Amino acid sequence: MQKNFILDGIFYSFMLIGNNILPGASDLTMASTKAYLFDFDGTLVNTMSGFADIAARVINRFNPEIPVEKARARYLETSGNPFFQQLEIITPGDPANREKARIFEETKIEGFFNSTFTSDVRETINELRARGHIAGIASNNFQELIDRFVENEKLDFDIILGFRKGFEKGRAHFDYVREKFNLEKEDITFVGDSLKDAEKAFAYGLKFVGICGTFKRDDFLKIREDIVTIENIKELLNL
């Protein structure tokens, strides 16, 4: 059971589990957050279902022993990593992994640019920035694709970080943001839709909010019992 209270203007949340009281991430998340970093696919833009369908077909084409349904599930389970890294988990050492990744990246582009930011995403990002927070993107989608998408959508972010060789979502992105804006780890909340997003945030020492959709709250709870999850991005404004 979750208990909430306000003390000195700060929102606190506690999870009551048996006789133990575990502090929820909300006691730190909004009160001390200076910067919100958002994963992109599945978090800001609803692309994950389409990507999973493409990945499943590509994997099954080269590895017919893996049914499409299983390939799709494995793609989602390993999401949060670049696709070429996902393939090394799903079909490790397969000489065709490079070709699979090439086909996937080329195929996904059309559907990617048919997507848009929802009104909830726009309202949330604009409101966070109006309140004085930094709002940025940290994604393993390619930098040039995200830059083009955001430019087309005309939504302002303080920083946009995508994937390039040697620079990916996780420590490299987090270090860069901290140095650029002179932030401590406790100043940053990472918002993502995947279990890997949660693992990357907690491993680095950041706060994390999971957006349910790609994964359910029960899935996130397997990472940490006190994890904060939301159903809609606008809930960030009320935490």
Task: State what percent of residues in the chain have pLDDT above 90.
Answer: 78
Q: Which of 187, 165, 164 minimizes the C-alpha distance to 174?
A: 187
pLDDT of residue 80: 82
For 169-206, the pLDDT digits (tens) are 999 999 999 999 999 999 999 999 999 999 999 999 99
For 118-175, the pLDDT digits (tens) are 999 999 999 999 999 999 999 999 999 999 999 999 999 999 999 998 999 999 999 9
**DSSP letters spanning 31-56:** HH-SEEEE-SBTTTB--HHHHHHHHH
Amino acid at 190: F
State the SS3 of 147-179.
HHHHHHHCCCCCEEEEEECCECCCHHHHHHHHH
Q: Which range is least confidently modeled, 76-80, 94-98, 169-173, 183-187?
A: 76-80
When computed from its CA atoms, the radius of gyration of the chain, rounded to whole angstroms, is 18
pLDDT band per the 50, 70, 90 thresholds, residue 30: low
CATH 3.40.50.1000 fits 33-45+117-238, yes or no: yes
Q: Which of 169, 141, 142 minimizes the C-alpha distance to 37?
A: 169
The chain-wide mean pLDDT, for the chain, equals: 88
Contacts of 27 (CB under 8 A, 6+ apart): 10, 11, 12, 13, 14
Q: Provide mean pLDDT across the span 55-76.
A: 96
Of residues 31 and 28, which shows the higher confidence score?
Answer: 31
Q: Where are the alpha helices (DSSP H) in 78-194?
A: 83-90, 97-113, 119-130, 143-153, 171-181
Q: Tell me if 87 sits within 8 A of 101, measured CB to CB.
A: yes
Domain boundaries, the chain: 33-45+117-238, 48-113
Handedness of CA 213, 215, 219, 225 (dihedral sign): negative
Decide: helix, strand or coil at residue 126.
helix
